[in-house]
Amino acid sequence: MQHKTLLLTLLILLLSACGGATVDPNTPPEIVYGEDVCQRCGMIISDDRFAAALVVERAANEFESLLFDDAGEMFAFAGEDNGQAKIVSWFVHDYTSREWLDATAAWFVLADSLQTPMGFGVAACAHELEARSLAQEWGGEALTFAQAAKKLAGLEMEGK
């Protein structure tokens, strides 16, 4: 009888662990390039220089990561009325290092000459000087997060 109780307890624990991954809203998601798809356009995400993500709160303490193939797609999605829950985190990849950045602290380069997956012409940079240099090189403009959100999605971002 003890074996059955132990087995049943282990089975319950195992099944509860398979209930779905918990998303940490402060941690960028992992993207499987060539397999994961963009939340907005459905295209396969393949270029880590432009990949972006949002973390939304679907219910109290229930978070979901939304992946995008282009930072412009992320901004556009945020500006649309998708009935989505509250956005709690914004992430982008640094164009040069390809490392995740907190998008609210990043600088953005908007340039028509920049070829991005969905044609938004947006690249993110960790530092203002790099963004200004790339903007000059590409004939574009360097923007803060708030400026990029307003220009690309019509969003007014307070304190960002």
Domain ranges in the chain are 34-153
% of the chain exceeding 90 in pLDDT: 72
DSSP line for the chain: -HHHHHHHHHHHHHHHHTS-PPPPTTSPPP--TTT-B-TTT-PBP--TTT-EEEEEEEETTEEEEEEESSHHHHHHHHHS-----EEEEEEEEBTTT--EEEGGG-EEEE-TT---TTS--EEEESSHHHHHHHHHHHT-EEEEHHHHHHHHH----TT-
pLDDT in tens, 121-150: 999 999 999 999 999 999 999 999 999 999
pLDDT at 113 exceeding the cut of 90 = yes
pLDDT in tens, 77-96: 999 877 667 899 999 999 99
The pLDDT of residue 158 is 61
Alpha carbons 44 and 34: distance in angstroms, whole number: 6
pLDDT in tens, 12-48: 444 434 434 578 999 999 999 999 999 999 999 999 9
